[in-house]
């Protein structure tokens, strides 16, 4: 799948920080059951690689990617694990859209966006969205950067996700609210499915 096709699958991409790989499969199944099939597992914990492998192997219908990809070797590691996409919080020097796995790079300013467009990217993560200007920044970017489309992440929640999704240059949003840490720790998969179902209905 192309990155554009992946981002079009659901209005919300869960951003998952998994501390225990044993949670990966039931968490993934709960999110997919709620209609969120694109899952970003961040490379922020020792359990991340194992969680990604387990989700890819055992969660039917899931499109699994790696988040917090900070350099080219981490992008390659995501590909080696079998990820279908990778997400970076910023622009990785020298990286291009073509590579071992599709990359969604982060930007926070017009200068970074111009550098990303010059490198051949057209799909970006606005991060941290709430600090980088939120919906106001995206509205301002739309006219001068007509080719760019975004997945805002950082400060996006159930309360404001619809405002982002209503913008013409927003493909989807990323957020952690659909998989609260307390629900994951407690194994409250029904709650997570319910939150995912509510999030999957946000598309205008």
Instruction: List, in sequence order, every residue forming a beta bridge with 41; answer none if it has no partner.
Output: 16, 66
> Is 198 a catalytic site residue?
no
pLDDT tens for each residue of 24-75: 999 999 999 999 999 999 999 999 999 999 999 999 999 999 999 999 999 9
DSSP 8-state symbol, 17: -
pTM: 0.96
46, 125, 139, 163: the catalytic one is: 125
> Is 125 a catalytic site residue?
yes
Residue with tokens 């192997």: 57
Query: Per this entry, what is the length of the chain?
Result: 204
pLDDT tens for each residue of 91-134: 999 999 999 999 999 999 999 999 999 999 999 999 999 999 99
Domains of the chain in start order, with CATH, are: 3-200 (3.20.20.70)
């Amino acid at each position: 799948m192309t990155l554009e096709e992946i981002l079009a699958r659901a209005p919300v991409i869960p951003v998952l920080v998994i501390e225990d790989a044993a949670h990966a499969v039931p968490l993934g199944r709960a999110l997919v059951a709620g209609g969120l099939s694109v899952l970003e597992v961040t490379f922020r914990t020792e359990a991340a690689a194992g969680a990604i492998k387990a989700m890819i192997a055992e969660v039917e219908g899931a499109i699994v990617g790696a988040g917090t990809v900070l350099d080219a070797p981490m992008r390659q590691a995501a590909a080696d694990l079998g990820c279908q996409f990778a997400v970076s919080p910023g622009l990785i020097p020298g990286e291009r859209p073509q590579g071992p796995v599709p990359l969604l790079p982060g930007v926070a300013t017009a200068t970074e966006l111009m550098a990303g467009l010059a490198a051949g990217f057209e799909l970006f993560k606005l991060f941290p969205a709430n600090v980088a200007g939120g919906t106001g920044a995206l509205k301002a970017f739309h006219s001068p950067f007509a080719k760019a489309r975004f997945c805002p992440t950082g400060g996006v929640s159930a309360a404001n996700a619809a405002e982002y999704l209503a913008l013409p240059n927003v493909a989807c949003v990323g957020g952690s609210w659909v998989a609260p840490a307390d629900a994951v720790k407690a194994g409250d998969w029904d709650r997570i499915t319910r939150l995912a179902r509510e999030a999957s209905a946000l598309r205008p």
